C-alpha cells in the first residue's frame, strides 16, 4: 500500500545529465517501501541514448560536441532522444510492489488535462495527443527497485532534434538497437500557457490526486553531494558513454591530389578490433603500416589522429600522407 508521496524538482539547480542520472539512481536506491517518488529534471543541449544503443549511430556526435552539446547514456533501454531546456523529464521511483506504470502514466495524462490537452497512452512507451507524441518513456529495474522515466516536450527546438539525431544509416553496418522516428509535438503548441513552471505545478497536483495522498516536497540539497560523486564520474566517463556500443562496421574515406584513402573499421565496445585500408597512394609501405597503430585504440577522432601523427616518416611524401590521414581520422565519431 502506498503511504508516502515524495516530490523533487531539480531543474532549477542543475541541467547536467550526469548529475541528474546520479540523483535519479540515488533516489531509486533510497526509495522506501510504500513510497513513490516523482522527480522532475532537465538536461541542457544533450542527446541521451538507451543502454544498448550506439552513440555514433544514433547522433552526429562530432557536430553535437562542436556545438557544446553532450552525449549521455542512461541505464534504461529504449531509443535516443534530444534534451534541451524546452523539454522536461520525469522519473517515478518505487519498490517493486509499489511500482505501477499505468498509474504513473495517469499522473502525466491528468497533469496535462487542465491545459485542455487530451492525452492517451500509446502502447507501453508513448503518450500522445491526436497521434502526435509529446512523451516517450523507458523503464529500469535493479532487484526490487524500479523506475519509469520519460520526456515531456514543452517547447523543444525541433530543428536540433533533427540536426543531431538524424544520422545517415547507410554509413554504418550496425548490429545494435536503432531508434525509430515518430511524429512529435510540443505541448506549448497545443496550449501556449504550458511552461516548465506551470506544468511542474500541475504534475505535482495530479500526483497527489491520482494517488489520493498529500505530496511531500524535498530539495536537491537534501541529497548528500558525496553520495553522488562516484556515480557522476561513472555516467560522464567515456567508457560508459561510448564503450558500451555494440559491434559495428564503419567506412571512412577521403581523396587528395596524391590519391585516396579508405579505412574500414570493426569497432566493438568503442575499441577498434580490426581496421583495413584501401588506397592508390604511392607511399605503399607507410600506408600499409597505418592499421597497426590504430588497432586497440578508441574510436575517437583525436586519438586516432594522434596515433598516425606519432608514426615515423622518411620522406616529404610520407609526411603529406600522414598529415592528410590524420586530418581524415580526426573526423571519426
CATH number for the domain that contains residue 214: 3.30.930.10
Structure-model confidence comparison of residues 262 and 53, the more confident one:
262
Instruction: Rank 75-79, 213-217, 246-250 by mean pLDDT and report only the highest.
Output: 213-217
- Domain identity same for 315 and 166: no
Give the range among 87-96, 246-255, 283-292 with minimum mean pLDDT. 246-255
Average pLDDT along the chain: 89
Domain count, the chain: 2
- Domain identity same for 149 and 36: yes
Q: Please enumerate in sequence order all residues whose Cβ is within 8 A of that of 162, keeping only pairs 6 or more positions apart, or say none.
A: none
- Domain identity same for 157 and 261: no
- Domain identity same for 234 and 255: no
- Boundary-marking domain end, from 197, 226, 241: 241
- Boundary-marking domain end, from 241, 267, 288: 241
pTM of the entire predicted model: 0.78
- Boundary-marking domain end, from 215, 241, 267: 241
Q: Using alpha carbons, list the distances in angstroms from residue 261 to 16, 233, 265, 308, 322.
A: 39, 38, 13, 13, 11
Q: What is the pLDDT of residues 51-109, one digit of tens each?
A: 877 788 788 888 999 999 999 999 998 888 999 999 999 999 999 999 999 999 999 99
CATH assignment of the domain containing 277? 3.30.390.50
Give the range among 232-241, 243-252, 259-268, 290-299 with minimum mean pLDDT. 243-252
- Domain identity same for 268 and 138: no
Strand partners, 296: none
d(CA 302, CA 218): 43
What is the DSSP secondary structure assignment for residue 225, as one 8-state letter? G
- Domain identity same for 178 and 265: no
Contact criterion met (CB below 8 Å) for 308 and 288: no
- Domain identity same for 168 and 201: yes
- Could you give phi then psi for residue 68, rounded to 5 degrees? 85, 15
Q: Using alpha carbons, list the distances in angstroms from residue 192 to 9, 155, 184, 225.
A: 22, 9, 16, 37
C-alpha cell at 149: 522515466
- Domain identity same for 173 and 285: no
The band of 181, judged by pLDDT with boundaries at 50, 70 and 90, is: low
State the pLDDT at residue 166: 60
d(CA 179, CA 176): 10
- Domain identity same for 266 and 126: no
Q: pLDDT > 70: what percent of the chain? A: 92
- Domain identity same for 234 and 262: no
Question: Residue ranges of the alpha helices (H) in the chain?
Answer: 17-30, 55-58, 61-66, 101-112, 158-165, 187-190, 196-211, 229-236, 238-241, 284-294, 301-309, 316-329
C-alpha cell at 22: 546520479
Q: Can you say how many angstroms the Cα of residue 185 is from the centroid of all Cα atoms in its chain?
A: 20
Domain that holds residue 321: 248-329
- Domain identity same for 159 and 198: yes
State the pLDDT at residue 168: 44
- Domain identity same for 165 and 261: no
Strand partners, 255: 260
d(CA 150, CA 255): 44
State the pLDDT at residue 246: 63
The band of 265, judged by pLDDT with boundaries at 50, 70 and 90, is: confident
Amino acid at each position: 500500500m502506498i503511504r508516502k508521496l515524495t516530490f523533487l524538482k531539480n531543474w532549477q539547480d542543475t541541467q547536467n545529465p550526469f548529475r541528474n542520472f546520479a540523483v535519479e539512481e540515488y533516489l531509486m536506491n533510497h526509495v522506501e517501501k510504500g513510497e513513490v517518488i516523482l522527480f522532475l529534471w532537465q538536461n541542457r543541449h544533450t542527446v541521451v541514448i538507451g543502454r544498448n544503443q550506439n552513440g555514433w549511430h544514433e547522433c552526429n556526435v562530432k557536430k553535437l560536441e562542436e556545438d557544446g552539446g553532450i552525449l549521455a547514456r542512461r541505464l534504461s533501454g529504449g531509443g535516443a532522444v534530444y534534451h534541451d531546456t524546452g523539454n522536461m523529464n520525469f522519473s517515478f521511483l518505487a519498490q517493486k510492489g509499489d511500482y505501477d506504470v499505468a498509474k504513473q502514466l495517469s499522473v502525466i495524462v491528468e497533469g496535462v488535462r487542465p491545459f485542455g490537452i487530451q492525452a492517451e497512452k500509446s502502447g507501453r512507451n508513448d503518450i500522445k495527443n491526436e497521434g502526435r507524441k509529446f512523451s516517450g518513456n523507458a523503464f529500469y529495474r535493479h532487484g526490487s527497485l524500479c523506475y519509469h522515466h520519460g520526456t515531456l516536450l514543452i517547447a523543444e527546438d525541433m530543428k536540433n532534434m533533427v540536426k543531431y539525431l538524424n544520422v545517415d544509416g547507410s554509413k554504418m553496418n550496425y548490429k545494435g538497437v536503432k531508434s525509430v522516428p515518430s511524429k512529435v509535438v510540443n505541448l506549448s503548441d497545443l496550449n501556449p500557457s504550458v511552461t516548465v513552471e506551470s506544468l511542474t505545478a500541475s504534475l505535482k497536483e495530479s500526483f497527489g490526486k491520482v494517488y489520493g495522498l498529500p505530496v511531500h516536497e524535498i530539495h536537491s540539497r537534501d541529497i548528500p553531494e558525496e553520495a553522488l560523486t562516484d556515480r557522476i564520474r561513472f555516467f560522464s566517463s567515456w567508457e560508459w558513454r561510448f564503450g558500451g556500443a555494440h559491434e559495428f562496421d564503419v567506412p571512412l574515406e577521403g581523396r587528395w591530389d596524391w590519391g585516396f584513402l579508405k579505412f574500414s573499421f570493426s569497432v566493438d565496445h568503442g575499441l577498434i578490433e580490426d581496421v583495413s585500408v584501401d588506397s592508390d597512394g604511392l607511399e605503399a609501405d607507410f600506408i600499409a603500416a597505418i592499421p597497426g597503430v590504430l588497432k586497440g585504440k578508441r574510436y575517437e577522432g583525436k586519438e586516432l589522429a594522434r596515433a598516425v601523427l606519432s608514426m615515423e616518416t622518411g620522406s616529404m611524401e610520407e609526411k603529406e600522407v600522414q598529415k592528410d590521414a590524420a586530418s581524415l581520422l580526426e573526423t571519426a565519431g
